[in-house]
């Protein structure tokens, strides 16, 4: 197996030159103010396929000998890696098949087909990345096609590591801290391989979604393990098992692994869009979401944050807003037992709701054989700190009210 080191990343950068464009490194006024230092965004959302994944895919495929290229390539993807493979296949004239789970947004599937043109077909299988990975492996064994891993191959890792190499060159000096998203660990492994030799003073922080902490679990267990539960919302980083190749590189690097809540990611997606004019997918906003929440750079220091992708389906924004409001404490749900009598709802509105509160959901089922009827009520507050007063008014009101906590199974039907 090829080594994963700084020389491999440097060689990958030479292969990508002139084919995969360099992306901007931009100062973020908002994030700089949040942490009291200099925060620079590495804008991989502006990459040719709107994600850094093209770097690893191209670096691997371009090194294949002619006989391997003629057999074609196959890969599994949650969306962005497949686009990188599709772009590389079309650029190099190599046939490819991309397997994606049903959870992959349609926008990403359509982009794969458009980028790959006649060279690439997209196959939809299973409900998770791991289902797609199993199908891709079976395809490779059956047809002899070359498997292009999304993260667990030295060539993929080296290509992805060029993101940080490029950022440091653009900055002109080693940053104090680098914060980047983590799924299977390819970007993190490539980053620490290069930074460990070329910028050893830089602190590296990897950020995982709290519902898919595969690398943290691997570090705790001493090796890659399969997560029992997986929240696929941050689809670009929702990997059930860290890589066998990426794990030892990360383990030996001294990088810090942290997790951030999916709701916090949604809040950051909205902030990026509304304040900065940046369209980020959930995994793209993952690293930025951690700043000031779980990552606290020293005041006055310089931090590079990788904004890893911008392939977000506009149809997901309703869920993004909902998750953000719940996380921020501005959206709450209640089960209310209304008396079966005229004026019950009006009394609830008058006696319970505050002047800035709004009912956003009301599902009522009338029971003619009972004195009360249940209703599921969603309330959006003007400010999170208005909740105690609302709860006090609910306790004093005639209807019986039960708050639905965010960890309730009922929330699966709301989000």
Q: Residue range 208-216: average pLDDT?
A: 97
Pick the CATH number of 329-413 from 2.60.40.650, 2.60.15.10, 3.30.70.260, 3.40.50.2300: 3.30.70.260
Per-residue pLDDT for 316 more than 90?
A: no
Measured CA distances, 299 to 32, 33, 37, 384 (Å): 10, 10, 5, 28
Per-residue pLDDT for 259 more than 60?
A: yes
* pLDDT score, position 312: 87
Q: Residue range 317-339: average pLDDT?
A: 92
DSSP-derived 3-state class of residue 101: coil
224-235 pLDDT, tens per residue?
999 999 998 998
Tell which wins on pLDDT, 368 or 337. 337
Angle at 254 between CA 253 and CA 257, to 5 degrees: 110
* pLDDT score, position 327: 94
- pLDDT grade for 415, boundaries at 50, 70 and 90: low
* pLDDT score, position 367: 62
Task: Answer for the pair 255, 206: CB distance below 8 angstroms, yes or no.
Answer: yes
Q: Residue range 30-38: average pLDDT?
A: 98
Q: Residue range 332-346: average pLDDT?
A: 86
Q: Of 77, 108, 308, 331, which one is the catalytic site residue?
A: 308
Rounded to the nearest angstrom, the gap between the alpha carbon of residue 263 and the centroid of all alpha carbons in its chain is 11
Give yes or no: 366 in active site. no
Task: Answer for the pair 101, 124: CB distance below 8 angstroms, yes or no.
Answer: yes
Measured CA distances, 411 to 17, 282, 330 (Å): 47, 19, 15
Q: Say what percent of the chain tops pLDDT 90.
A: 77
Give yes or no: 308 in active site. yes
Cα separation, 131 vs 128, in Å, equals 5
Name the least confident of 65-79, 332-346, 375-389.
332-346
Name the token pair of 283: 């995994």
Tell which wins on pLDDT, 345 or 209. 209
- pLDDT grade for 88, boundaries at 50, 70 and 90: very high
Q: CB burial class (10 A; 0-12, 13-18, 19+) of residue 329?
A: middle
Q: Residue range 266-272: average pLDDT?
A: 97
Tell which wins on pLDDT, 340 or 138. 138
Q: Residue range 19-26: average pLDDT?
A: 96
Name the token pair of 410: 């009922």
Class of domain 54-147: alpha beta
- CATH 3.30.70.260 positions along the chain are 329-413
What's the whole-model pTM score? 0.92
- CATH 3.40.50.1100 positions along the chain are 6-51+154-323, 54-147
Please report how many Cα atoms fall inside a 13 Å half-sphere around the Cα of residue 143, on the Cβ side. Answer: 20
* pLDDT score, position 366: 63
DSSP-derived 3-state class of residue 380: strand
Q: Of 42, 53, 108, 331, which one is the catalytic site residue?
A: 53
Q: What is the DSSP letter of 145?
A: P
- pLDDT grade for 101, boundaries at 50, 70 and 90: confident
Class of domain 6-51+154-323: alpha beta
Q: Residue range 261-273: average pLDDT?
A: 97
Per-residue pLDDT for 347 more than 90?
A: no
CB-based contacts of 153, cutoff 8 Å, min separation 6: 56, 60, 245
The overall average pLDDT reported for the chain is 93
DSSP-derived 3-state class of residue 165: helix
Cα separation, 187 vs 176, in Å, equals 18
* pLDDT score, position 368: 56
Q: Residue range 10-20: average pLDDT?
A: 97
Per-residue pLDDT for 201 more than 90?
A: yes
Of 361, 286, 375, the C-alpha closest to 318 is 361
Measured CA distances, 406 to 142, 240, 342, 352, 415 (Å): 45, 23, 32, 21, 10
Name the least confident of 80-94, 242-256, 369-383, 391-405.
369-383
- pLDDT grade for 369, boundaries at 50, 70 and 90: low
* pLDDT score, position 102: 87
Per-residue pLDDT for 219 more than 80?
A: yes
Per-residue pLDDT for 371 more than 80?
A: no
Task: Answer for the pair 171, 302: CB distance below 8 angstroms, yes or no.
Answer: yes
């Amino acid at each position: 197996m090829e080594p994963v080191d700084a020389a491999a990343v440097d060689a990958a950068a030479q292969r990508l030159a002139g084919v995969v464009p360099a992306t901007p490194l931009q100062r973020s006024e908002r994030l700089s103010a949040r942490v009291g230092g200099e925060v620079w965004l590495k804008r991989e959302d502006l990459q040719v396929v709107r994600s850094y994944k093209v770097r690893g895919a191209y670096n691997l495929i371009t090194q294949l000998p002619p006989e391997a290229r003629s057999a074609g390539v196959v890969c599994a993807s949650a969306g962005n890696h497949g686009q990188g493979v599709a772009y590389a296949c079309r650029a190099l004239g190599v046939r490819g098949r991309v397997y994606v789970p049903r959870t992959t947004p349609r926008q990403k599937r359509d982009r794969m087909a458009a980028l790959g043109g006649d060279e690439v077909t997209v196959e939809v299988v299973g409900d998770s990345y791991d289902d797609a990975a199993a199908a891709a492996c079976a395809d490779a064994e059956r047809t002899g096609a070359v498997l292009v891993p999304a993260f667990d191959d030295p060539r993929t890792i080296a290509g992805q590591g060029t993101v940080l190499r490029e950022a440091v060159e653009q900055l002109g000096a080693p940053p104090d801290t680098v914060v980047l998203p983590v799924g299977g660990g390819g970007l993190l492994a490539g980053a620490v391989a290069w930074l460990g030799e070329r910028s050893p003073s830089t602190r590296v922080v990897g950020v995982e979604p709290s519902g898919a902490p595969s690398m943290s679990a691997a570090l705790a267990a001493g090796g890659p393990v399969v997560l029992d539960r997986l929240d696929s919302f941050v689809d670009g980083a929702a990997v059930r098992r860290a890589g066998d190749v990426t794990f030892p590189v990360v383990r030996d690097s001294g990088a810090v692994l942290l997790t951030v809540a999916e709701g916090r990611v949604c809040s950051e997606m909205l902030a990026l869009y509304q304040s900065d004019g940046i369209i980020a997918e959930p995994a793209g906003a993952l690293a930025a979401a951690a700043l000031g929440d779980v990552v606290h750079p020293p005041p006055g220091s310089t931090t590079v944050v990788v904004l890893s992708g911008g392939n977000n389906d506009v149809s997901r924004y309703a869920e993004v807003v909902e998750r953000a409001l719940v996380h921020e404490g501005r959206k709450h749900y209640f089960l209310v037992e209304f008396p079966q009598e005229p004026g019950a709802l009006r009394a609830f509105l008058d006696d319970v709701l505050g002047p800035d509160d709004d009912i956003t959901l009301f599902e009522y089922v009338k029971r003619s054989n009972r004195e009360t009827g249940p209703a599921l009520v969603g309330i959006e507050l003007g400010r999170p700190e208005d909740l105690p007063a609302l709860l006090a008014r609910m306790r004093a009101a005639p209807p019986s009210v039960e708050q639905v906590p965010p960890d309730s199974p009922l929330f699966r039907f709301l989000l």
